[in-house]
Structure 1
Amino acid sequence: MAERIMYVQLKTGYNTDRGPAWIARVEFSRSWRSLTFHGRRLQRPTGTAYANFDSNFVDVDTGEEYWVSGPKRDRTDGRYSSQQPVVDDDAREAYEAFLAGAPLPGREHG
């Protein structure tokens, strides 16, 4: 499984970009169609059942929708809000190095 540091935001139950958000380590499946985050298994939605432009992953157990993307150096991760994410302890060192200009782990070559 490929491990990445990603921006993750819960969308279900919150107005646009008001849900809790994290900078966290996630593990992607070999196909990159699912990932594990905080013990949850998130999967890319298929079909029209999840035709929400505001989310790109769905919790397979609860149906909650999430937005998952790579973090941005300018900290504008929330698309419509300046709310800052919680940085998980196990991602903090690599994320701070990324903010200072280093590549993210696993993304050294693009």
Structure 2
Amino acid sequence: MRTEIKYLELKSGFSDNGSAWIGLVSFSKSGKTIYFDGKAFQTLDGTGISGNYFELESGNEYWISGVKKDMSDRHKFGGGIIYVEKRILKDYLETIGKNELPKAGYEMTEVDTEKPIERINELENEKLEPAEFSTDLYFKKPNELTKEEIQFLLIDLEESANSPQYKKTRRSIKSRRIELEMELEKRGIKNVG
């Protein structure tokens, strides 16, 4: 597994003041997933609000980048301690050209080095399990669907709207939800979803 020293900063709910680390990350075989501190991250491909990756289990956005030699990893308007993983201290100091870690703004830390590969695979496989309804539901017109199918789709669309990986399609998700809710209304059925 390829490894690299990276800067990681929690963005969700913190703007530029979230917890931050400099640590050794591992990449999956495909290079699409990054593992650090017992968590797995995948790219937002430019769809993030303030981050470029999201943590698969929580959905929180993070900024993950290479470390800067001039130690300007945090945004210029941000603040807070940057935790440096103990096991990479020597390599990090070599990268930034220093003999010791500055006392102000940095703190040594231990991180969980176990990669949650099995847990993440289970999480991703849950998403792939066959649904009780077939995928052709997504292509049918609202008037061609049963009440149960509409309610299933509404729940699925709600979950998709809240997922960071579907940010680019939120407008179309909302439009589809409105169509389905209007169909239920036409039938005199109150949506309980």
Q: Does 1:12 align with 2:3?
A: no
What is the TM-score of this pair, normalised by structure 1?
0.79
TM-score normalized by the length of structure 2: 0.46
Q: Does 1:93 align with 2:99?
A: no
Unaligned residue ranges in structure 2 (runs of 5+): 99-193
The within-5 A match list for 1:44-63 is 44-45=43-44, 51-63=47-59
RMSD of aligned residue pairs (Cα, Å): 1.9
* Per-residue Cα deviation, 1:49-94 (whole angstroms, up to 9, x for no partner): x822521111111101100000001111112336352111012111
Percent of aligned positions with the same letter in both sequences?
31
Q: State how far apart, in whole Å, the 2-side matches of 1:12 and 1:66 are.
A: 7
The structure with the greater share of residues assigned to helix is: 2
Contact 1:12 1:66 (8 Å CA) reproduced: yes
How many residues are aligned here?
Answer: 97
Moved over 6 A (4+): none
Q: Please give the alpha-carbon distance, in whole angstroms, between the structure 1 residues aligned to 2:77 and 2:23.
A: 19
Greater C-alpha Rg: 2
Contact map agreement 2:69 2:95 (CA 8 A) in 1: yes
Between structures 1 and 2, the one with greater strand share: 1
